[in-house]
Structure 1
Amino acid sequence: MGTKLKDLIFFFVDFFTFYLALILALILRHLVNFNLEILKLHFFPFFIVFVFWFFFFYIFDLYNFKKISFLSEYSKNYLTALFISLLFTILLFYFLPLFQIAPKTLLLLFILIFVPLNLEARSYLLKKIGEKVEKNIALIGEARDIDEIENYLLTHQSLGFKKVLRFRRLSEVYEDEENVDYLVVANDILRDEEFSKSLLDKVLKGKVVLSSLVFIENFLNKINLEGLNEEWFLNNVFNKDEAYEFFKRIIDVLIAGLALIISLPLWPIIILGIKISSPGPIFFKDSRVGKNEKTFILYKFRTMHVAEYKNPKKEKVFGVKEDDPRIFFWGKILRRLHLDELPQALNVLKGDLSLVGPRPDSKPYYDFLKNKIPLYSLRTLIKPGITGWAQINEKTGDSIEEAKERLEYDFYYLKNRNLILDIIIILRTLKIVLTVWGK
């Protein structure tokens, strides 16, 4: 059973237990007076509630079977999503009275029924579909990408592979052929024409054969830099229609404008805190590299004492660390809550930034990395973003090696970008922000 189908099953389980809990709560609340009219009265308001619950369950990875299998992380995410969902439910019913009902006892009964019912249903489902490991997978080669794939499979057993076998060459597979269902082959080995032909025999015998590059893209959700060339970009990057760019821009303007309006009451407090904490300007203005290597001025609330910029050529690690002495106390709070990022909404409205895209580098860092990493400049083929695929995967590029890995995630976004992926990135970014605020 594929992970996408498993994710969908969890959604239907939540929907079923949600409305079952509602019906049971209504029966307990009204007893002999319960009837269909009462159910109809509550059905739509609670459907709106369910939409919000689904939204928060989704951004906290409760419909991501790969993450659900890690019980410690799952428990934390479940409780956090449940708490935030309850807050929004209370907000809907009591502070934004949009409906004819204002359930108090009913809401309490609903929670007391839903939580154990939903947890039990999810636990049962996890045992039933989580233990059905079905296939064996063989990794062929000694390249670094095969090492990375092996480590990924060993730490993600919920994918359904019973055994992970490792071979140096294809001839070794023949000795254990009956126990192999999937083959992942290092890309450098595939360059051997005779070897590639021999793999066709495996395909004809019903084996699934993937190159390491394809596996890394489909499972690790990034593009391996090995073997990339200009032709790859011509085939994979310049094929997005104008409709996508048009709707992406509309979403950018709407969300950035809304963020500015909602956050404006905070600006006087933020500005006052900066002025009290440190002499100097309110805003930090930095030259960043945008689309097609054009520079623009990026705006942030200043969180550091005024100092000279560090030279990246003298630094093994880039960026600003949490313990940097230049960060004043109020600045640490702003950074922790991501409030220093608010002025970037102005960059979005101006068209310098999108909400989603590769994170723009400072000009000195960009020039340095461009000379160190092949094809690095091609990340500027599209407009940069406030958040991106690399950022939600916790790849910040704080060193040359990390910058290479960040680039792999940037290239994945370049190839696969669409409105659905953009929305997923925005939702997961919101999850990160809400988690920090919750702490």
Structure 2
Amino acid sequence: MLATIQTVGPVYPLYPKALTFTLVMAIVMVAMGLYQRNSPRESWQYARLVASFIFGFAVVTILFYAIPDLFLGRGVFGLTFVLAFLGILLARLLYNQLTGRKGMKRRVLVLGAGTRAAKVNALEREGNGRQGFQVVGYLPLQGGHQFIDKSKIIAKTESILAIARKHHIDEIVVGVRDRRGGGLPVDEVLQCKIHGIPVVDLSTFFERETGHVQLQSLNPSWIIFSDGFARGSMRDITKRLFDICASILLLLLTLPVMLITALLIPLESRGPVFYRQERVGQGGKPFMVLKFRSMCTDAEKNGNPQWAGQNDSRVTRIGAFIRKVRIDELPQILNVLRGEMSFVGPRPERPFFVEQLTQQIPYYSYRHNVKPGITGWAQICYPYGASVEDAMEKLQYDLYYTKNHSLFLDLIILFQTIQVILFGQGAR
């Protein structure tokens, strides 16, 4: 045994190689959309898993040969990939099987059976069994109309705590608007919390389960008293340092692509290569955003700002391609360097649209509490929008980011943006 140990040598030199392999594969799988909130159907998950390992194999191979200290024998290298693929495949098969079982879901009791409680019912139906919770029943409160099927109603024949224990409830969701005057038995709900049963309001429940802040159930008190929506100097400094370092690196990496794009644009459509447009930034301050021009020069000859539509005739052929793969956004790296934008944040809108949307959509101005970004949570969670309704949907994701933004969330968004580019999602 001692001879074997001496022959093999110390184990610690393998740590950098194992760490490199793990980081590369994790980044590739996140970028391929294998860890997104709304995962694709199972068959697509496995197809993306195979694609991730093929691409990851190529990246790791290049790194191992480019950096001599990371070199690994072909036998060990190949065996590592095979075992890793089989292990992750097995783990995903088990996860998909287990998450479909009711015993693995959080058992939820909803207080109320009105319109707000009906939203929980709709969310459960939309999940098609993939959501992480199971509504055991709805407990009607005094003075409220019922919008829930009678088969899902639990009669209040005893205390809420007794009902929760009887049905093995893991969480209670308060589904009434006025928690003090809407018939909510505060003392009984407090007893549930004291005895270890979590109690959450509807806004918090939807935020956690959907990854966005639902406007219909939002109220100012929730914004004031809930965690998040806060800015800290250390967080701002960290984000700014990350933006500067990433901007310099990305400028160097994408310079050849930007030069080629700058040469191609005038070949199809005469006019400037770059397009400057006023947008609204942090705190409502206007700034000039920089993009590669993807439309003809008289795109707004009538003088009225307008959103880009599906198959918009104003978009040139080269413009359609650079919009699809997001090359048109690359000059905004300079906006990031100047501190007007960040890599991640709500997309900046034009003052004309901001004025309209602020009047029509509640809480719209809250998205200006953070710097606008080249990409954002709304961009990876919701397709391109060109209407007030789309802006309202996107705002729900922007508010989620504004409330929960962190460097970790920024990294997740950046990696998942690669997936959006690869699969051409949301471009017009």
TM-score scaled to structure 1, two decimals? Answer: 0.79
Partner of 1:161: 133
Partner of 1:212: 202
Partner of 1:296: 287
2:356 to 360, 368, 386: 368
Bigger shift: 178-187 or 196-205? 196-205
The one-character-per-residue Cα deviations of 1:272-301 (angstroms, maximum 9, x if unpaired) are 210111111101111101112111111110
Q: Structure 2 CA distance, aligned partners of 1:187 and 1:412?
A: 22
Q: 1:157 to 1:103 in 2, by over 3 A?
A: same
Contact between 1:288 and 1:298, CA under 8 Å: does it hold in 2?
yes
Q: Structure 2 CA distance, aligned partners of 1:385 and 1:205?
A: 44
Aligned-partner SS, 1:222: coil
Q: Which structure 2 residues correspond to residues 27-426 of structure 1 after superposition, within 5 A? A: 35-37=7-9, 42=14, 44-62=16-34, 70-94=41-65, 96-99=66-69, 101=71, 103-124=73-94, 126-127=96-97, 131=101, 132-141=103-112, 145-154=116-125, 155=127, 157-166=129-138, 169=141, 172-174=153-155, 177=163, 178-179=166-167, 181=169, 182-192=171-181, 194-197=183-186, 198-200=188-190, 203=193, 207-225=197-215, 226-229=217-220, 232=223, 239-309=230-300, 319-394=307-382, 396-426=384-414
* CA RMSD, Structure 1 to Structure 2 (Å): 3.5
Bigger shift: 180-189 or 275-284? 180-189
Bigger shift: 141-150 or 220-229? 141-150
Q: 1:308 to 1:124 in 2, by over 3 A?
A: closer
Q: 1:359 to 1:143 in 2, by over 3 A?
A: farther
Q: Structure 1 CA distance, aligned partners of 2:349 and 2:411?
A: 23
Q: 2:367 corresponds to which letter in structure 1?
A: R
The one-character-per-residue Cα deviations of 1:150-203 (angstroms, maximum 9, x if unpaired) are 333331634553455356547953358433624323241525254242534555
Q: Structure 1 CA distance, aligned partners of 2:280 and 2:291?
A: 15
Aligned-partner SS, 1:213: helix
The one-character-per-residue Cα deviations of 1:86-135 (angstroms, maximum 9, x if unpaired) are 121121123x2333636445434443444334423543455456634355
Between the two proteins, the alignment pairs up a number of residues equal to 401
Structure 1 or 2: more helix by fraction: 1
Contact between 2:223 and 2:229, CA under 8 Å: does it hold in 1?
no
Uncovered stretches (5+) of structure 2, i.e. residues with no partner: 145-152, 158-162
Q: 1:218 corresponds to which letter in structure 2?
A: R
Q: Structure 2 CA distance, aligned partners of 1:117 and 1:227?
A: 42
Q: Structure 2 CA distance, aligned partners of 1:43 and 1:238?
A: 39
Q: Structure 2 CA distance, aligned partners of 1:37 and 1:361?
A: 60
Q: Structure 1 CA distance, aligned partners of 2:116 and 2:54?
A: 40
Aligned-partner SS, 1:299: strand
Q: Structure 2 CA distance, aligned partners of 1:147 and 1:399?
A: 27
Partner of 1:25: none
Contact between 1:153 and 1:164, CA under 8 Å: does it hold in 2?
no
Aligned-partner SS, 1:195: coil
Aligned-partner SS, 1:190: coil
Contact between 1:390 and 1:396, CA under 8 Å: does it hold in 2?
no
Q: 1:223 to 1:33 in 2, by over 3 A?
A: closer
Q: 1:216 corresponds to which letter in structure 2?
A: F
Residue 365 of structure 1 deviates from its aligned partner by 1.1
Q: Structure 1 CA distance, aligned partners of 2:16 and 2:301?
A: 57
Q: 1:384 to 1:100 in 2, by over 3 A?
A: closer
Residue 34 of structure 1 deviates from its aligned partner by 11
Contact between 2:32 and 2:419, CA under 8 Å: does it hold in 1?
yes
Q: 1:105 to 1:251 in 2, by over 3 A?
A: same
Residue 411 of structure 1 deviates from its aligned partner by 1.9
Q: Structure 2 CA distance, aligned partners of 1:196 and 1:175?
A: 12
Q: Structure 2 CA distance, aligned partners of 1:231 and 1:133?
A: 30
Aligned-partner SS, 2:287: strand
Q: 1:369 to 1:430 in 2, by over 3 A?
A: same
Q: 1:387 corresponds to which letter in structure 2?
A: T
Q: Structure 1 CA distance, aligned partners of 2:132 and 2:10?
A: 45
Residue 345 of structure 1 deviates from its aligned partner by 0.3
Q: 1:212 corresponds to which letter in structure 2?
A: L
Q: Structure 2 CA distance, aligned partners of 1:183 and 1:235?
A: 17
Partner of 1:28: none
Q: 2:235 corresponds to which letter in structure 1?
A: Y
Q: 1:245 corresponds to which letter in structure 2?
A: D
Q: 1:307 corresponds to which letter in structure 2?
A: D
Q: 1:277 corresponds to which letter in structure 2?
A: E
Aligned-partner SS, 2:69: coil
Question: Among the aligned pairs, what percent are the same residue?
Answer: 26
Q: Structure 1 CA distance, aligned partners of 2:200 and 2:68?
A: 53
* Alignment partner of 1:427 is 2:415: yes
Aligned-partner SS, 1:380: helix
Partner of 2:148: none
TM-score scaled to structure 2, two decimals? Answer: 0.80
Q: 1:108 to 1:206 in 2, by over 3 A?
A: closer
Q: Structure 1 CA distance, aligned partners of 2:371 and 2:331?
A: 18
Partner of 2:150: none
Residue 385 of structure 1 deviates from its aligned partner by 1.2
